[in-house]
Structure 1
Amino acid sequence: MLILAYDVGTSGVKTCLYQAGSELTLVNSRLGTYGLTILPNGGAEQDPDQWWDAIVKTTRELARENPQEMAEVQAISFCSQMQALVLVDESGHHLRPAMSYMDQRAAEQKRRGLETGMKISGMNAKKLLSSLYRTSAVSASVKDPMWKYLWVRDNEPEVYAKVHKWLDVKEYLIARLTGNFVMSVDSAFATLLLDVRSSRPAWASRLARSFGVNPDHLAPIVTSATAVGTLLPEVAQELGLPQTTTVYAGGGDASLIGVGAGACGVSDTHVYWGTSGWVST
């Protein structure tokens, strides 16, 4: 089985063609790059069209170099940067540049949403406890995507009025590939609005509303191994891939780096170093 994997990072996409059998073998790979715009007000944005152009360019390069294998690709999956904000309309077109995980413009939204009233550790006690109970986390950083969403609502009402779904990076690309709107469980958790107490993956809708988030903007949640759909005809032609290619939800970098490092058990620790860095246990 031939698999195409897109590793969508902050500065570029690594497009890798694998042969999957008893072992996973790398057949070929290509790197496509794109920009990051840093704004004086703390903004950090990327153009989703540049993500797409890099995917198309690298995929077509592989198609030229490995035509037989690429004609037999059966599956596409992703590893991707997380906690960006990509707002799209009903057709899946992005309504503004994507706000990167590094974007820090929403300090006022965070202050109004979490730092008023009776406090614990500087945060509104009721919202803090509700968040911890329902999601096992709290949006305590100005870089968390919920505050970016509310920044757009408050500063770009004409954009917000057209929003159909709030997506992350790979979810935007999945929508462009298949026409379907989803969010993998790990991407949903990274919004810090995933209801971890639900028997199946679900949004904490009541909590979302308490912060000012419209639950209708949140896409259906699927597992990383879910087959989301097949390529749209025009996309298959643009990429040079079979229209029957199945697209899977994939995962975010913070999730899959642990898998790649073999740090999958409770108490296992790994160190990551890239555009950003962390120690995770």
Structure 2
Amino acid sequence: MGIDLGTSSVKTIIIDIDGNVKAMAQEEYSIEIPYEGYAEQRPEIWWKATVNTIKEALAKSGIKSSEIKGIGLSGQMHGMVLIDKNLKVIRPAIIWCDQRSKSEVDAIYKKIGRDKLGRLTLNPVATGFQISSLLWVKYNEYQNYNNTYKVLLPKDYIRLRLTNEIGTDITDASSTLAFDTSNRKWSEYIIKALELDIDKYPGCYNPFDLAGVVTREASQETGLACGTPVVFGGGDQPMQAVGNGVIYPGIVSSTIGTGGQVFTVIDKPLYDDELRTHTFCNAIPGTWNIMGASLCSGLSLRWLRDNILNGLDYHIIDEMASNILPGSEGLIFLPYLTGERTPHMDPYAKGIFFGLSLKHTNAHMIRAVLEGVTFSLRDSLEIFKQMGIKMDRLVASGGGARSSLWLQIQADVFGVEVYRSKATEHACMGAAIMAGVGTGVYASVQEACEHIVKYHQEPVLPNSKNMEIYNYYYGIYKEIYPRNKDLFKRIGEYCC
């Protein structure tokens, strides 16, 4: 069984030894925004949704709960769940897209130094990262900080409810910015320099290591068999990569979900002097992942659908956009609705429809969003090239991979063949693979992927004419942010 605790929903799948999905269940929830720039979710809502999907998946599969060999977890990265000594949640979770900790980011760089911190973590600090959020709580809600027994990542809370055991894994821990990524351990230097308490951090393990077993209480709630093994699992991006078969250098994944990520495997830690990329520990020992991230990819399309398109079905939205020519007749979209990470690392960045005129319709806006999101991911691929990272194959995943139009746009904007795995819920699949490895069904992650992950034989091919069009508009796209950077900050400091 694989459980993926996402930003907008939780999904649970049950697979057999060959990777065939026997059942899948999903339940949505929302992000709470109590103030401008805040983003929170309630862990109890996560748990209730998880319980419901486990029950539904078991019912759909027709499988006895005792036949489940093991359970793995995947989850949204960077977020913060605070629990007290009674293992109760202290406050709502602050999640990855939260922007409140701008001053804490500045304080972190001031105390440690940008280069020193970058070389230890192999990451830039950003709002929404756990260490920034934890500092915000210490500075603004000291009683909550003082009452904190352990700081967890989102999926670790679900595992706690399943097993009553506390812990995290190296892939997720390396996304907190309190982690020595090269040496795969918590950084005492960083934690002490920021006057945080290292004993608030949980033990850290491999994603396929056994964390515990389903407790009697969790069994009664979920229908799972008491004593079912549960492995630690990992962050959603590393798990998605595993579920996509992105386990060797040269294979790159392009994921368009709530956010967007370009992701690959490297066999040694790489440091970007400009701190535009993220490097995390990989699920496979002795390897790492490097990632470029865009905060508001699928979320940009959802915003357009909910606020301008009156909640139209995504199939209709896709059809509308397909009737518009590549380049959206000169309409360009910057998908910075919640600030941006790669390559700008700017919480003040804002969204823009550039070039809007009377000839443009809702359909033009839809296509411009699809293209603008893809341009933002191309920014990451360009950085990978600069760093000497090879790309032999690109694999698309996430909601964007379900749209044939968006797949074609990716092929045309990136200028490469785009492959898709036959599985759809890749993060769930990666989590289930971890359970398979941890319980001895497979000898290694590599063996599991070679046995389970299968691709559609025919890739989506780039269109040379469309590539030329997109290269032109991408050049303009790259100029829009630097020309408006100061204005973004002026707006942000005045009204937000």
Q: Please name the residue that 1:76 is paired with.
A: 71
Q: Is the 8 A contact 1:78 1:251 kept in 2?
A: yes
Cα offsets for 1:149-206 (capped at 9, x unmatched): 01111111121111011111111111111111111000110012222353xx421112
Q: Please name the residue that 2:113 is paired with.
A: 127
Q: Please name the residue that 2:233 is paired with.
A: 250
| Candidates 193, 197, 217, aligned match of 2:178 | 193
Matching of residue 107 in structure 1 with residue 102 in structure 2: yes
| Candidates 134, 145, 149, aligned match of 1:160 | 145
Higher relative strand content: 1
Residues of 1 paired with 2:261 and 2:58: CA distance?
36
Residues of 1 paired with 2:139 and 2:36: CA distance?
15
Matching of residue 9 in structure 1 with residue 6 in structure 2: yes
Q: Where in structure 2 are the equivalents of 1:1-281 lying within 5 Å?
A: 4-20=1-17, 23-114=18-109, 116=110, 127-139=113-125, 141-198=126-183, 201-281=184-264
Residues of 1 paired with 2:60 and 2:37: CA distance?
42
Distance 1:192 1:237, change over 3 A: same
TM-score by length of 1: 0.88
User: Secondary structure at the residue paired with 1:87?
Assistant: strand
Q: Is the 8 A contact 1:62 1:70 kept in 2?
A: no
Residues of 2 paired with 1:30 and 1:97: CA distance?
25
Q: Is the 8 A contact 2:38 2:98 kept in 1?
A: yes
Q: Is the 8 A contact 1:37 1:45 kept in 2?
A: yes
Amino acid of the structure 1 residue aligned with 2:178: L
TM-score by length of 2: 0.51
Residues of 2 paired with 1:107 and 1:196: CA distance?
23
Amino acid of the structure 2 residue aligned with 1:253: D
Q: Is the 8 A contact 2:94 2:128 kept in 1?
A: no
Amino acid of the structure 2 residue aligned with 1:88: I
Q: Is the 8 A contact 1:77 1:250 kept in 2?
A: yes
User: Secondary structure at the residue paired with 1:111?
Assistant: helix
Displacement of 1:232 in angstroms is 1.5
User: Secondary structure at the residue paired with 1:24?
Assistant: coil
Q: Is the 8 A contact 2:118 2:124 kept in 1?
A: yes
Residues of 2 paired with 1:132 and 1:61: CA distance?
44
Counting matched residue pairs gives: 264
Residues of 2 paired with 1:186 and 1:203: CA distance?
12
Larger-Rg structure: 2
Greater relative contact order, per chain length (Cα 8 Å cut-off, separation 6+)? 1
Displacement of 1:278 in angstroms is 2.2
User: Secondary structure at the residue paired with 1:32?
Assistant: strand
User: Any stretches of 5+ residues in structure 2 without a counterpart?
Assistant: 265-496
Residues of 1 paired with 2:8 and 2:251: CA distance?
28
Q: Is the 8 A contact 1:11 1:36 kept in 2?
A: yes
Q: Is the 8 A contact 1:92 1:176 kept in 2?
A: no
Q: Is the 8 A contact 2:23 2:58 kept in 1?
A: no
Residues of 2 paired with 1:185 and 1:47: CA distance?
24
Residues of 2 paired with 1:263 and 1:240: CA distance?
33
User: Any stretches of 5+ residues in structure 1 without a counterpart?
Assistant: 117-123
The RMSD of aligned alpha carbons is 1.7
